[in-house]
Chains A and B, each alone.
Chain A
Amino acid sequence: MDRSVMPLLQLDSLTVEYRGDGEVVRAVDDVTLSVETGESLAIVGESGSGKTTLALAVTRLIQPPGSVVAGRALFEGRDLFALRADELRRVRGGRISYVFQDPATSLNPVLTVGEQLSEAIELHTDRRAERARAYGVELLERVGIRAAPQRYDAYPHELSGGMRQRVMIAMAIATRPKLLIADEPTTALDVTVQVQILRLLVELQRDLGLSMLLITHDLTIVERTCARVAVMYAGRLVEEGAVADVFANPAHPYTRGLLACRPAWGAVGRQLSTMPGQSPDLAKLPPGCAFVPRCPLVEPRCRERLPTLDTTAEGRRVRCVKPFSKPGA
C-alpha cells in the first residue's frame, strides 16, 4: 500500500479489557477508526464510554489490570502493538504526543517546568542542555506564556491552570509530533481559559500540520475544532462522520440525544445536561444494543443482537438498526 494514501493512524478492531475481581470489563470494544494526516478527529461520549481508554490504548499506555486484547493500531504504516518497547517509546512523545485533562495533576509537582519540558526534548531530539533550555523557552513563548525564561524554572504549582495546560501543550509539541492526542484538554479549566486553549490548539494544528485526536464530551468544542467526529457509547463506536453532517442530521438515537442536550455556544452554565437514564455498567451489558435501556426507539431485535456498524450512503458509519429515525416519527 502506498504510504501517502494511508491514513496517519488506523485503528483496527481495537479491543481493551480490564480484569478485576473475577469480572472482565470491555472498555473499548472492537473500534475501527482512522485519522488522516492533518485531520482532526473528535471522539465524543459520556464518561465511561471508553474514549479515554481508546486514546491511551493507541500508544499502549493502558496500565494493568487493563490490556489491549485484540486489534491493531497502524501508525505511519507500522503496527504500534507489534513494536518493541524501545521502538514504541520513540513513537510515544516523539511522533504521537498527548495533552491530558487536568494540568494540575498531569505535571509532576516536584520537578520544574523546565525539567519536565527538557526531558522530552532531550529524549526525542538531539538538543542537549543549553540548547534544550533555549528551545524550551522558545516553546513556552510559542504557546503564549509570558516571561518564559522565569516560568521555565518554576514549579507547576506556581503557575495558573491555563498556564499549566500551555506547558502541557508545549511539551506535546516539543518533539514536532505528527499526531496530537488531546484528552479533554479544557475540561478542568475556567471558561475563558478554555477558549484560549482551544484557539491555541487549533492554531498549532494548522501551523504545524498536526493531526489531532480530540477526546471530549463537549459537542460545542467539537463543532469549533474538528472536521470529523466519532461517537462512542459503552466502549463501542456508534456513529462516525463529518462534523457538519452529524450535527445537522444525527443518525444514531444516542447522538441525537447528545445533541439535544447541547447548550448554545457560550451559554452560561454550559454543562452537558444529562440525557434520561444512566450510562450502562460495562460489566453487565445486555446482549443486544447497549443503548436499549435509554433508547426511545427500541424494537425487540435491538435486544437480541448487537447491531453492526454499517456505512450509510452518505459515508456515515452508524451502529443502529434504524438509523436516522426520529422518536415519534
Chain B
Amino acid sequence: MATRWRRRVGLGLLGSLGIIGAVCAQSSTTDTGRPATGDALVVGSIGDASRLLPILATDSASGEIVGLLFNGLLKYDEHLHVAADLAQSWDVSPDGLTITFHLRPNVRWHDGQPVTADDVRFTYDKLIDPNVKTPFSSSYELVDGVDVLDPLTIRVRYKEPFAPALESWMMGIIPKHALEHEDLNTTKLLRHPIGTGPYTLAKWKTGELIALAANPNYFEHRPYLDRYLYRIIPDEATLFLELLTGGVDLSGLTPLQYARQANTPFVEREYQRFRYPSFGFTYIGYNLQDPRFSDARVREAIDRAVDKQAILNGILFGLGAVATGPYPKESWAYDPSVQPLPPDRDEARRLLAEAGWTDHDGDGWLDKDGQPFRFTLITNQGNDVRKQVAELVQQQLKGVGIQVDIKIIEWSTFVHEFIDKRRFEAVLLAWSLARDPDLYDLFHSSKTKEGEYNFCGYANPEVDRLLVEGRRTFDQTKRQDIYRQVHRILAHDRPYTFLYVADALPIIHRRIRNVVSSPIGIGYNMIDWYVPPGEQRYRSRPTLQQ
C-alpha cells in the first residue's frame, strides 16, 4: 500500500511492477521468429481503475491503464534514463530555470486530431487549476509559466531550479480539443478516454474487466497483441487459482506464491517467472518526540536487535535485499559503502543499558525508572507480508527484552487518526518511490505538519541543506554526491530502521514472446510482445472499438 505513487513510465504495466535494474530475470523469451499480430494479454489485478485521465488517476489501477492510453512528454527508458516520448527532444537551460520541449511531429490522438503544444499547455493549466480535483499540483508549484512557442515547441519556466522537474513531465498529456469545454472532474472522458498511447479503451465493465484494443496508428508502431484485458480479481488467493487454470496470463505474485506455489511442474511449463527489485523500502519509523526513541542509542540497539536477513529469508523467501538506507542498490544515489549492521543482541543490550534500560525487576523485560520498555508498533490492514514482519520483529525484540504490541489499523483510520495526528510510537510501513532520489518531502524538517510525510519528526540541518541542494542541481554526478551523503547520514541517524527492499515478482504466460527484463522491469517494450500464430489463444475482434 505505502504510497500510491505511480510512475507513468513507459507502459502501464510498469506502474505496478515499477523496477530498476533487472537483476535476475530467470529466463527470457527473446525473439526467435517474426512477430505476429493477434491474441490478447490477460492481466490480473486486485483493484479496478476509477478515472482514466492522467491528472486525476490517483489509484494504481487507473495509473496502469492510463499509462497504456496516454503518453507523457518524457519517459524512462529501460535503463532508467530519461527518454523521449511525446517530446522527441528537450533542452534544459544552463541555469536550470527553463526547459524547452520539442514535440514529435505527426502524433495523433485516438480520434485523429493532431497532438500540439496547446495540449501540453492545457494539461499544465488543468494541473494547477484549483477547481480540478487533481492531487498532483504540487510538482508544478515551482513552474513560473508555460509558453507555447510554436505548435510543436513548448517552454517551461521555473522560479528556481528543480531537478525532479523532468520526471514531473512524464505526466500524461490530455487532449485540449476534447476537454476544453468540459468539467474535468465529471467529464465522460474519464470513462471514455481519448489518448495517444498504444492502446485504446474498448470496453470497461466496472469491477470486472477493462478491455483495451491495439491502436493501429500508434506513433512507434502498432502493438502486436490485439487486446490487453485487465481483469479485476480482488482476492489474492483467487488470483492465483486463476493463474493455475489459465484464466490470467500476467500477474504479480506474493513471495509465498512465487517461492512455494509457483514452482509446480504445471506453472513451470506454462509460465515464465520474473524477479527484480521494486523501487521502495520497508521500514520501522519512530515517533522521535518519544523520549525513548529520541535516544539514538535506543534506535541503534533496535537496529541491531532486528535480524533483517531473517525477515527477508523467512517472510520474503529471500526475494529481496536488506536495506541500508532509502535507496535500493540499483539506484545511482545508493552509497555502497554503507553496510548493513550485523544483528548483535549483546551489543543491542549493551546500548540499551547505556541508555538506562536494563531489567531491574527481573521480569524479563527491560525497564527504566520503573517503566517497562513496551511500545505499540502500528501498521496498516490489508498487507499480510507486513503483518508477518511485525510479528517477527516483535519476537526479535522480545529477545532483547523489549515488549512490542502490534496494532493493525484500517488504512483511512491509520493515516488520518494515527499518522497525521502523530498518535503512534512506532510504525511499520513502506515507501515506494519515484526514480528520482529526491527525499525532500520525507526527511526535510519543514515537512512535519499534520498531513505531511516527515511524520517521525526527523530534523537534521545538514540533511535539510543537502535535500534543498539536491533539488536545485541538475548535474547527475553532483547530485549523486549529495544523495549518497544523505544516504550515509540517514543510515547513521536512523530515524527509520530500514528493513528491506522487496522484489517485484511477476509471472507471465510462456506463449507471450519477447518479454525482456531490464532495469525498469518487463513492461517497457510491451508493444513488441507477441504470440506466434500457432499458439494464439483468444480470437481477435477487430470491431471491438466502441
- Whether the complex brings A and B within 8 Å at their CB atoms is answered no
Binding site for B on A (CB under 8 A): none
